[in-house]
Structure 1
Amino acid sequence: MTPTIRPAEPHDAALIHRFVSELAAFEREPDAVEATPGSFAEALFGVPPAAEAVIAELDGEAVGFALWFHNFSTWKGRRGLYLEDLYVTPAARGKGVGRALLIHLAGIAIERGCARFEWSVLDWNQPAIDFYRSMGAVGMDEWTIQRVEGQALAKLAALE
């Protein structure tokens, strides 16, 4: 059984929300999801869309998704493709779904002239790290992610 990948459609917003909630639970942050099916619908299908998504299916059943957006490399002078989330249901893992999603997104990146295809992975998720390395990914260990959100973001915006 070969996975099929299709573009997400507006009716998939609740499914994507469910997958994101399952991913958050796997990543030990079950209460962190603030997004709603409505916010996913707006982000993915609003004008302009903030992100894009695809759904992976096995035998017509949705078993995973990938959600991405474009970033930009000033050093390369071209946009990149940033994978925000990739999730495969536990029952579908090991069946080529994650591989199919990465290959599909790599194809989109090439088709759109992207200089890079990037994503983050939690440092404790060794099975995912090993999988990504097997697909040709290289860790950017010398870089760390910086984030400002919530009250800290409001405070920073208020600085003069």
Structure 2
Amino acid sequence: MPESSVRLATADDVPTILRLIKGLAAFEDLGDQVKATEADLLRDGFGAQPRFECLIAEHAGKAVGFALFFHSYSTFEGRTGLYLEDLFVLEDARELGAGRGLIRALAQLALERDCARLELSVLDWNPARGFYQKLGFQHNEEWLPYRIKGQALENLASEA
């Protein structure tokens, strides 16, 4: 069986990217939380100031997965890195090498762009944790993620 191929997404892929984002959200039981629209993805990924990039994994001419990423910056390293926001492969394509192909392509891009690292976050229950560990990713236990959004973000921003 031929291996999946990976390519950089184009603006024409926006409907596919949104479909895969919704697939990821359904996998995480968060389907009702997807607010992104095709217009959002077109503006932020393929507009005048792109905020993210995306890779598409294909098998037999069909999109079976995606990796959405952006550059980060390490003040300690003095270099950029790549942050993988989302990686998702359709369930019926998970044994075709698409996930590994997407991660390998990201690693190649990171090296080509002189990035110091490739980072991601994964939910604690996600079975993909074992996949990432086999590839050499390490769980960074000393750092805890924090987030502020919604009304709390608005309240903080409006303080005098």
Alignment of 1:55-94 (within 5 A): 55-94=56-95
Read off the aligned partner of 2:153 and give its amino acid letter: L
Deviation at 1:28, TM superposition (A): 1.5
- The equivalent of 2:32 in structure 1 is 31
- The equivalent of 2:155 in structure 1 is 155
Read off the aligned partner of 2:54 and give its amino acid letter: A
**TM-score, normalization by structure 1:** 0.97
Deviation at 1:111, TM superposition (A): 0.4
Deviation at 1:6, TM superposition (A): 1.1
Q: Distance in 2 between matches of 1:112 and 1:159?
A: 39
Deviation at 1:159, TM superposition (A): 1.6
- Local SS of the residue matching 1:68: strand
- Local SS of the residue matching 1:48: coil
Residue 5 of structure 2 is aligned to residue 4 of structure 1: yes
Q: Any unmatched runs of 5+ in structure 2?
A: none
Q: Distance in 2 between matches of 1:156 and 1:116?
A: 31
- The equivalent of 2:137 in structure 1 is 137
Task: Calculate the aligned-residue CA RMSD, in Å.
Answer: 0.7
Read off the aligned partner of 1:150 and give its amino acid letter: G
- The equivalent of 1:50 in structure 2 is 51
Q: Number of paired residues?
A: 159
Deviation at 1:3, TM superposition (A): 0.9
Read off the aligned partner of 1:156 and give its amino acid letter: L
Moved over 2 A (4+): none
Share of identical aligned residues, percent? 48
Residue 15 of structure 2 is aligned to residue 14 of structure 1: yes
- Local SS of the residue matching 2:119: strand
Q: Distance in 2 between matches of 1:133 and 1:99?
A: 12
Q: Any unmatched runs of 5+ in structure 1?
A: none
Deviation at 1:7, TM superposition (A): 1.1
Deviation at 1:30, TM superposition (A): 1.0
Q: Distance in 1 between matches of 2:114 and 2:26?
A: 35
